[in-house]
Amino acid sequence: MLDATYYSRLGLASIHDKVLDGERLTFDEGLALFSCPDITAVGALAHHARTRRHGDKTYYVVNRHVNYTNVCVNGCVFCAFRRDRPEDDGAFTLSREDILARVRGETDSPLQIDELHIVGGCHPELSLEWFEEVLSAVRALRPDLMVKAFTPVEIAHFAGQAGISTLEVLQRLKAAGLVMMPGGGAEIFAPEIRTRICPQKADADTWLRISGEAHSLGIVTNATMLYGHLETYEHRVDHLCRLREQQDRSKGFTCFIALPFLTENSALKLPEEAVGPQRGLDQLRTIAVSRLMLDNIPHIKAYWVMMGAKLAQTALWYGADDLDGTIVEEKIGHMAGADSAQALTIAELETMIRHSGFRPVRRNATFEALSGEADA
């Protein structure tokens, strides 16, 4: 399957050898993978890297998303989720009781979740103390529940509101019950793109610094990249290399998620040729290149909410080893046009994984195996 002669004809001989030897790829080699005409050849290399690390295991989590508000001061051009003011049509903000009701399962699925995922917009009126109270209340209700919450962008916003350092914000949130951070808001690090799609959002250096601060406190995080908009392959590879460099320093990224830009309802409009069915192939290639470039980040996620269940299953053969989880209720991707379901059951997730040729492993927020077929 990984025939050296064929890879040589593709101009990927050195990449082929490096992948088989477990050596780090360069920026230029990342570009070569994005430019390779045979996506299956790129996928086969990524699958080799994936199985060397994880075998046939594919992870999932029983989780619950809570998007606490879509009111946001950042005004990102691409974002279909945000509303600028609380009084705008479609704006919402959950109360503390609303959030706790979702944890109790009073409003929907009664699953005993293993991860609570809390993210939202940067609301101008919600204080750091309010979020501390929410985390403390969740911990009182479910002391065993791992809370994954707040992107580095939200942390920067809380710090600006409170007039304190981002490190102090992280320390206070950890004391209140924060275990992990989801890693959103990275978008694309390149300033020439970032200033066009999210000029008011925390910049790349701030995002990376806050991630490193979290890691220094023992708060592990995910990392993300929003792609398929105005960026080039060079921008994508630069983004991956900067994440890899940060991971060399702070070692706290546990999973990478490549998030495809969804065009529906966004103010950022792309030419017709950029939004056609070929985007599915681009998503698979981006997953594969991410697995090959991010040699020091353990997990690569195929986020079924934004990719769709079928393409996410295919991505398991292109370097991904995680499907995320049950979700229960997700607003950010769906308000941007995702046509996937709002939730999947444990049985549906495990069936998806098995039918794709892999073994399902139920995990917690920090990727510790909980049950199922982890040791089978």
201-210 CB contacts, 8 Å cutoff, 24+ apart: 201/74, 201/76, 201/153, 202/152, 202/153, 202/156, 202/157, 204/242, 206/152, 206/156, 206/166, 207/152, 207/153, 208/242, 208/246, 209/166, 210/152, 210/155, 210/156, 210/166, 210/170
Contact by Cβ (8 Å): 225, 186: yes
User: What are the two backbone dihedrals, phi and then psi, of residue 286, each rounded to the nearest 5 degrees?
Assistant: -65, -40
Q: Give me 35's structure tokens.
A: 């430019």
What pLDDT does residue 329 have? 52
**Which 8-state DSSP code applies to residue 274?**
G
First to last CA, the chain: 26
What pLDDT does residue 341 have? 52
Count of CB atoms situated within 10 Å of the CB of 285: 23
DSSP 78-102: T-SS-BSSTTSTT--B--HHHHHHH
Which SS3 state, helix, strand or coil, does residue 143 take? Answer: coil
Q: Give me 297's structure tokens.
A: 């980040």
From the first residue on, what is the mean pLDDT of each consecutive set of 10 residues in the chain (376 residues)? 92 97 98 97 98 97 92 90 86 94 68 89 96 96 94 97 98 98 96 94 97 98 96 97 98 97 75 68 97 98 93 98 80 44 81 97 95 53
360-364 CB contacts, 8 Å cutoff, 24+ apart: 360/58, 360/59, 360/60, 361/57, 361/58, 361/59, 361/60, 362/59, 362/60, 362/61, 362/62, 362/114, 363/59, 363/60, 363/61, 363/114, 363/322, 364/61, 364/114, 364/115, 364/146
Taking the C-alpha atoms of residue 329 and residue 332, their distance in angstroms, rounded to an integer, is 10
Taking the C-alpha atoms of residue 246 and residue 183, their distance in angstroms, rounded to an integer, is 13
Taking the C-alpha atoms of residue 37 and residue 284, their distance in angstroms, rounded to an integer, is 13
In the chain, domain spans: 57-372
Q: Does domain 57-372 have CATH number 3.20.20.70?
A: yes
Contact by Cβ (8 Å): 316, 58: yes
Taking the C-alpha atoms of residue 293 and residue 287, their distance in angstroms, rounded to an integer, is 10
What pLDDT does residue 376 have? 45
Taking the C-alpha atoms of residue 323 and residue 259, their distance in angstroms, rounded to an integer, is 13
User: What are the two backbone dihedrals, phi and then psi, of residue 10, each rounded to the nearest 5 degrees?
Assistant: -80, -5
What pLDDT does residue 216 have? 98
Taking the C-alpha atoms of residue 177 and residue 141, their distance in angstroms, rounded to an integer, is 12
Taking the C-alpha atoms of residue 157 and residue 149, their distance in angstroms, rounded to an integer, is 14
Contact by Cβ (8 Å): 53, 19: no
